Amino acid sequence: MSSHREAPAISKDPVADNTDLYAFVSTDDPDGKTVTLIANYIPLEGPAGGPNFYEFGDDVLYEIHVDNDGDAKADITYQFAFTTQVLNPDTFLYNTGQIADLNDQHWNRPQFYSVTQVKGGGVSTVLGDKLACPPCNIGPRSTPDYEARLGSKAVHDLGGSVKVFAGQRGEGFYVDLGSIFDLLALRPFQSLHRFHPPESTSGVNATKDLNVNCIAIQVPKTALTRDGSAAVDPADPRAVIGVWATASRQKALIREKDGKLHNSGPFVQVSRLGNPLVNEVVIPMGTKDLWNAQDPDADSQFLKYVQHPEVAGLLPFLYPGVFPNLAAFDSSGKPRADLVAILMTGIPAGVVPTFPGNFTGTTIADMLRLNMAIKPNNASRLGVVGGDNSGFPNGRRVSDDVVTIELRAIAGFTIPLVDNTYTPDPPAAVIEDGTNNSAIPVYLDRFPYLGTPSSGYDKPAA
């Protein structure tokens, strides 16, 4: 998955596990003057998760970082800190009756949060405090009319064209996970697989009906550019930003015999996410925990894994005779300059015809790069590969089919952009993540875009 349980250590700490990151020009802003940043956490939430339904960690510092000058260091950071209340400690129930609104006393574990903007010089500004999260979607008796009464009411307008939301949402990332991790059984040519060739059948969305915990913020473009400019010219480097998200825990944890926990010391980063699937399938197992602890400006140490991705070597072996050109390129030892541009530097202008680019400079860093001056289109879930410059890898929208896009790229589809002597193997152009279109999630057409979470009554626990 995009970054669900992607490293050994963080797989044991789901409340701090980044699952997906999105950055795009807001499609519900008629003036096109705002950008939406979304960071999801807690993978694979089964809706029927009671009595302890999912919530953010009060002991975790959640952050979304923005680099606007190309050095892969945060110039603007949005920090989210959470506080949970227990209204009735003498019941085992999450709710003791119907939760009609965000202030309903029947909700026994309401959660609140603060939003703080930190600028590069260390200047902090609290944008909002004591903001209510919605409860989890338990079912029609406990949380009736969920979206109207609870989900939509948890969107907070902080003024100055800033909106925030933090709470449970429907999982927006879709992938035929079982097929991909079963030795890359890729559709629509999985019948050519070396081992036990499977029949060509419709894919299964492994995240269907699951939920995530979502942090979303919508801000003016002028708040993100290095000089407050409006980001209207796609050729202006000031219109391009880099984005990544992190989760951090304090250095020391003390467990008392009475069950109480005490945290102390400075915060230490335990998870991060920029581009989808980088730590998931590019970084090797022995280095994944290190990668999660590093800042993007230290990513040159991981460059070799992007230049020589393991999956590019596996495809010709797992599909004999299907990827001869990719096999030859991989054997030549040439570095994958196309993947470096897509994932680590941004794409310079002129590399992709009609795409103005989102190049941030030569600093090697895993960040989502967004050219904020490119207007929203939503013409193709394949983003730039599909001719829609407002989608991945120009930022990432909630509906972008990032698995298909990156699999095609790794399979050699994008090599001709930097090497005109290379001819992609035909299957590279038709690889799909395998998910049946009918299983793709339903999204909102407004902030925070991710759909209503599945309810525990209607869906089984994972």
DSSP letters spanning 287-354 = GHHHHHHS-GGGGGGGHHHHHS-HHHHHHHHHSTTT-HHHHHHHHHT---HHHHIIIII-PPTTSSTT
Asked if residue 461 is part of any domain, the answer here is no
Residue (of 136, 47, 43, 46) closest to 456 by Cα position: 47
Q: Are strands 60-67 and 211-220 parallel, antiparallel or unpaired?
A: unpaired
Asked if residue 83 is part of any domain, the answer here is yes
Maximum average pLDDT range among 27-31, 64-68, 183-187, 434-438: 64-68
Asked if residue 447 is part of any domain, the answer here is no
Q: Please state the rounded mean pLDDT for residues 185-194.
A: 84
Asked if residue 4 is part of any domain, the answer here is no
Q: Tell me the pLDDT band of 1, cut-offs 50, 70 and 90.
A: very low
pLDDT at 283 over 70: yes
CB of 177 closer than 8 Å to CB of 157? no
Q: Tell me the pLDDT band of 39, cut-offs 50, 70 and 90.
A: very high
Asked if residue 63 is part of any domain, the answer here is yes
How many independent structural domains does the chain possess?
1
Q: What does the pLDDT look like over 205-263, one tens digit per residue? A: 877 889 999 999 999 999 999 999 999 999 999 999 999 999 999 988 777 777 777 78
Alpha-carbon distance of 108 to 142, in angstroms, equals 12
Boundaries of domain holding 405: 10-439
pLDDT at 461 over 70: no
The pTM of the full predicted model, rounded to 2 decimals, is 0.95
Structure tokens at 259: 């069950």
Asked if residue 450 is part of any domain, the answer here is no
| Residue-level pLDDT at 231 | 97
Asked if residue 5 is part of any domain, the answer here is no
Q: Tell me the pLDDT band of 201, cut-offs 50, 70 and 90.
A: low
DSSP letters, 155-207, are -EEEETTEEEEEEEEE------HHHHTTT---BS-GGG-SSSPPP---B--TT
Angle at 354 between CA 351 and CA 359, to 5 degrees: 45
| Residue-level pLDDT at 254 | 79
Q: Please state the rounded mean pLDDT for residues 41-63.
A: 94
pLDDT at 462 over 70: no
Q: Cα–Cα distances in Å, from 380 out to 16, 131, 286, 438?
A: 32, 35, 36, 16
Asked if residue 462 is part of any domain, the answer here is no
Q: What does the pLDDT look like over 383-430, one tens digit per residue? A: 999 999 999 999 999 999 999 999 999 999 999 999 999 999 999 999
Residue (of 207, 215, 205, 175) closest to 45 by Cα position: 207
Q: In the predicted model, what is the mean pLDDT of the chain?
A: 93
